[in-house]
Structure 1
Amino acid sequence: MPELSKQDFNVINDALVNVYDHIMRIEEQSLRASTFKDVSVKDIHLIHAISLHGHKSSTEVAQELHLTKGTLSTNVKGLVRKGYVQRVPDRHDGRVQHLELTNRGKLLYRAHDAFHRQIVKSFLHGMDTQEVGLIKHALQNLEQFLTTASK
């Protein structure tokens, strides 16, 4: 890694903090102004982890989000009550429950996915293939660091 000046470090650090803050604020404001007022940003991320076509077990979703099974169960219970998620028993093992999105959950998933597509498009606007490769590399480094740090 090249040696960063204090100014470069501060610019990058501030940009990362501001981007995260803006994304969270925009997601919260968008929810409050939409037909999905009854969900939180945390709920959206759970819906995203379940995904459109997945039939993930509760255990798989809990592991993906780094949640305890109890915490996941509480959050899923609320989304089931609100009509976004349904529990489907496994055909081969009745002890296992898969999580699926309802039509309302799929609609919310698609709306949230469209927002993220806009973010990525605006972020990469005007960049060439090499620049996109550098961005991908930097983000993979960051993701690896954050994944390691959260264990």
Structure 2
Amino acid sequence: MDKHIDLVNDQLIRVFNDILTIEETELKKGDFSDLSIKEMHTIEAIGMREKRTTGEVAKSLSITVGTLTVAINNLVKKGYVERVRSEEDRRIVRLQLTNRGRLFYRAHQHFHKSMVKAALEEMSQDEKEALMKGLGSLHKFLKQYY
């Protein structure tokens, strides 16, 4: 069993580092070279579906609202995010992606979908289910730590 622990640990570290390296490389050479990795993850957390409050986004990123506010200020200046006041309660400010933010979001989602599709391509249904179960267990474990 210890052999499997070491092998899986090595693979997880390699995959995590490879994804970060690829994302950083693509950011530097692409149309979105003004974004940092943290800003990229912030845009992902804001998402395209509904307008979210800073508290909701901060919680999904496991950071403080103060830390998020600094990132949002930078993303607003760069033209990726805008703050929108609620019509029902003007005290509530929600975040939404601008056209540029949505363009980046779609491009980044395409990268992730391509990566996952390639990983699953040669797997049997049983292997896919085992992977999902393992990732679910890993996520549950990680959620206990933050």
TM-score by length of 2: 0.96
Structure 2 Cα separation of the partners of residues 130 and 147 of structure 1: 26
Structure 2 Cα separation of the partners of residues 59 and 96 of structure 1: 11
Structure 2 Cα separation of the partners of residues 138 and 101 of structure 1: 33
**Post-superposition offset of 1:67:** 1.4
**Post-superposition offset of 1:32:** 0.3
Give the secondary structure class of the aligned counterpart of 2:144. helix
- 1:73-124, Cα deviation, whole Å (9 max, x unpaired): 1100000000000000011111111000000000000111011011101111
Unaligned residue ranges in structure 1 (runs of 5+): none
Question: What residue is the counterpart of 1:24 in the other structure?
Answer: 20
Question: What residue is the counterpart of 1:122 in the other structure?
Answer: 118
**Post-superposition offset of 1:59:** 1.1
**Post-superposition offset of 1:144:** 0.7
**Post-superposition offset of 1:128:** 1.8
Unaligned residue ranges in structure 2 (runs of 5+): none
Question: What residue is the counterpart of 2:67 in the other structure?
Answer: 71
Q: How many residues align?
A: 146
Question: What residue is the counterpart of 1:143 in the other structure?
Answer: 139
**Post-superposition offset of 1:66:** 1.2
**Post-superposition offset of 1:53:** 2.3
RMSD: 0.9
Q: 1:62 aligns with which of 58, 65, 84?
A: 58
Question: What residue is the counterpart of 1:52 in the other structure?
Answer: 48
Question: What residue is the counterpart of 1:110 in the other structure?
Answer: 106
Q: 1:88 aligns with which of 58, 79, 84?
A: 84
